[in-house]
Amino acid sequence: MIKNILFVLLFLIGFQITLAQSVSGKIIDSETGAPLSFADVQINDSNSIMSNTEGGFTVPEKNADDATMLTVSFLGYYTENLTIGELKNIDFLIKMRPGTFELETVYISNTEIDANSIMASVRKNLKANYTDSGNPIKNTVFFRESTVIRPKQVKLEMTQATGYSKQQIKDANKELDEFAAKMINYPPMQFTDKLYNYYTSTKIYKEKPVPVQKIEVVKAVNFKDANRSVTLDDMEKLGAQVLFKHLDATKHYRIKSGLIGVRDTIVSNNSFVTDNEYREFEAQAEKTNQKSARSRNWNFLYSTNILINGRFDFINNNELSELYEYSYAGVTESGDKNNRIFIIKFRPNKRRAKYTGTLYVSEKDYAIVRADYTLVEGKKLSGINLKFILGIKQAENFDKGTLVYKKRESGEYYLQYASQENGQYIYINRPLKFIEITEGDKEKVGFDFKAEMDEFEKEEYFVISESSISEGDYKAAQEPDFDYIQLGSYDPSIWKEYTTIEPLNEMKQFKSVE
């Protein structure tokens, strides 16, 4: 009898654990099998989640009951309604059917309309569609940042060393080669996740309304391996740790790079901090994680603001009809059966135009409900080329993104989801000399440093929920400081209780390197 009772209890415990697990799925095109990025998944007509670029999504534990209803929508496709139980029966794979596209001439109010006239109406209605009312609002936001450096080559070679034998120099270079190989085999990367409440309101300053914000971080996680540097500064410091094995730990050194100029960097085995870095550290001493999070949120919203940011000249530039070429690509249904969505393709028409992509425009109010954009191949946003003079070259040559907007009951639109990816090419070929600081300053160790790499940064911003609040609620909102949970590898359970963005496989596979 006791054995049977124990068996039943264990079965029930196992059953409860099964129920408590989050549920993951994937969304694809039923005809091509291609993943559908940034599809909207409504959970029981309340909170929503967004599929990632691989089409993946995860329903959190609190909503993972078999009876939970999912409403999956994607512009240009028929909406799918199914329960978690039904999702399990189709092996967690949702195949969405393409909707009907009309490619014939479009008429509105008996007037023929083309892509250029649609875009003219978009510009005319920009402020009305995207200017906030200023009323207090609370958004619950999930924000993910990732940085990945992909070295193509890294070479650090000791070329001279006072008092070293040939064998000692050879042994040192072997260790430096191992360091460089490790960087290439295990590309530096870092991921940061934050879930926070974002409060907005307005205050009067000099008789004008000014937007104000508060950030209350609920949870923040940093996935980073100290042995896999993610910035050039980190790489420099890791390299220094290797270099100082070949320097006198009791001495101080000055670094000289190249023939032009000396970098005023005082280094020792106990401290690798430049004079400028130290002053910056003192200036930032008062800066907290909370203040950084608030600043980061504000900067991101500015960088995705289609009203004022010059990156979106394909939307907000006064020379729309000349700068870009627009073409009508069809019309599809939206979630509102009484509202169609125009599909507008765009590409550069003049040399200074840099982007190509697709805009989805509401027929009712000419609001852009989604924008996909990519930097044209061969174009760059910024860069320098001093390769043959100083051994340095940099080019910001990759930029793409997606913006998804949702309409409030008050009529204006807010940014529900945004994805931004930026990349740059970096080339460095410089000699480095460590000069011992003595009365006469003498050279101690010299190196040749050569590196060629691509650096990619990605940011994702997702409003999980939005609600109106009172001015009193805004004033009562607190902004306590917080600490990041530091993890050396991805842990799928870290966000099990929350609605987030499904990580890409690269993040799931991230782990520390010994």
User: pLDDT per residue over 336-384, tens digit each?
Assistant: 667 789 999 999 998 889 999 999 999 999 999 999 999 999 999 988 8
Residue at a domain's end among 72, 96, 120: 96
pLDDT at 242: 58
Note whether residue 112 is domain-resident: no
Tokens of 363: 């027929």
Tokens of 39: 């599809």
- CATH value at residue 69: 2.60.40.1120
The side-by-side arrangement of strands in the sheet containing 80-83 is: 48-50, 40-43, 69-73, 80-83
pLDDT by residue for the chain (514 residues), tens digit each?
333 433 333 333 343 334 447 788 999 988 899 888 888 888 887 777 888 888 898 888 888 889 889 988 888 788 889 999 999 999 989 998 887 666 555 555 555 678 999 999 999 999 999 988 889 999 999 999 998 888 888 887 888 777 778 888 888 888 888 878 887 887 888 899 999 999 999 887 777 888 889 999 999 999 887 665 555 555 555 555 656 666 666 677 776 665 444 444 444 444 444 445 444 544 544 468 999 999 999 999 999 999 999 899 999 987 655 899 999 988 887 766 677 899 999 999 988 899 999 999 999 999 999 999 999 999 999 888 888 777 888 999 999 999 999 999 888 999 999 999 999 998 988 787 777 777 665 667 777 878 888 999 999 999 998 999 999 999 999 999 999 999 888 888 888 888 788 888 888 887 766 5
Beta bridge partners of 486: 222
Tokens of 74: 């994607």
Written as one string, the DSSP assignment of 244-297 is: GGGS-TT--EEEEESSS-----EE-SS-B--HHHHHHHHHTTT--HHHHHHHHH
- Name the nearest CA neighbour of 174 among 156, 154, 195, 162: 156
Question: Do 382 and 438 sit in the same domain of this protein?
Answer: yes
Determine the Cα–Cα distance for residues 358 and 404; give it in Å rounded to an integer.
12
Question: Do 221 and 363 sit in the same domain of this protein?
Answer: yes
- In 133-180, beta strands by DSSP E: 137-161
β-pairing verdict for 368-375 and 392-407: antiparallel
Question: Do 18 and 64 sit in the same domain of this protein?
Answer: yes
Q: How many domains does the chain have?
A: 2
336 phi, psi to nearest 5 deg: -90, 115
User: What would you report as the CA-atom Rg of the chain, rounded to the nearest whole angstrom?
Assistant: 27
Note whether residue 121 is domain-resident: no
Residue 391 identity: G
Range of the domain at 438: 129-508
The half-sphere exposure of 213 on its side-chain side, counting CA atoms within 13 A, is 16
Question: Do 320 and 450 sit in the same domain of this protein?
Answer: yes
Residue at a domain's end among 96, 115, 138: 96
pLDDT at 247: 66
28 and 35 in contact (C-beta within 8 Å)? Answer: yes
Note whether residue 225 is domain-resident: yes
271 and 279 in contact (C-beta within 8 Å)? Answer: no
Give the CA dihedral 467, 471, 475, 481, nearest 10 degrees.
20
Buried b vs exposed e over 245-266: b needs ≥16 C-beta within 10 Å?
Answer: ebbeeeebbbbbbbeeeeeebe
Note whether residue 113 is domain-resident: no
Note whether residue 51 is domain-resident: yes
Question: Do 145 and 257 sit in the same domain of this protein?
Answer: yes
Determine the Cα–Cα distance for residues 230 and 401; give it in Å rounded to an integer.
22
pLDDT at 20: 46
Note whether residue 115 is domain-resident: no
Question: Do 57 and 160 sit in the same domain of this protein?
Answer: no
Neighbour count for residue 357 (Cβ, 10 Å): 19
pLDDT tens per residue across span 218-268: 999 998 876 655 555 555 555 556 566 666 666 777 766 654 444 444 444
pLDDT at 59: 87
Question: Do 177 and 227 sit in the same domain of this protein?
Answer: yes
pLDDT at 157: 80
444 and 434 in contact (C-beta within 8 Å)? Answer: yes
Question: Do 334 and 474 sit in the same domain of this protein?
Answer: yes
397 and 425 in contact (C-beta within 8 Å)? Answer: yes
Note whether residue 202 is domain-resident: yes
pLDDT at 18: 40
Question: Do 425 and 321 sit in the same domain of this protein?
Answer: yes
Note whether residue 22 is domain-resident: yes
β-pairing verdict for 485-487 and 208-224: parallel
44 and 88 in contact (C-beta within 8 Å)? Answer: no
Determine the Cα–Cα distance for residues 176 and 169; give it in Å rounded to an integer.
10
Determine the Cα–Cα distance for residues 23 and 15; give it in Å rounded to an integer.
15
Question: Do 303 and 414 sit in the same domain of this protein?
Answer: yes
Question: Do 83 and 155 sit in the same domain of this protein?
Answer: no
Angle between helices 166-185 and 232-243 (to 10 degrees): 150
Residue at a domain's end among 53, 80, 96: 96
Question: Do 442 and 370 sit in the same domain of this protein?
Answer: yes
142 and 501 in contact (C-beta within 8 Å)? Answer: yes
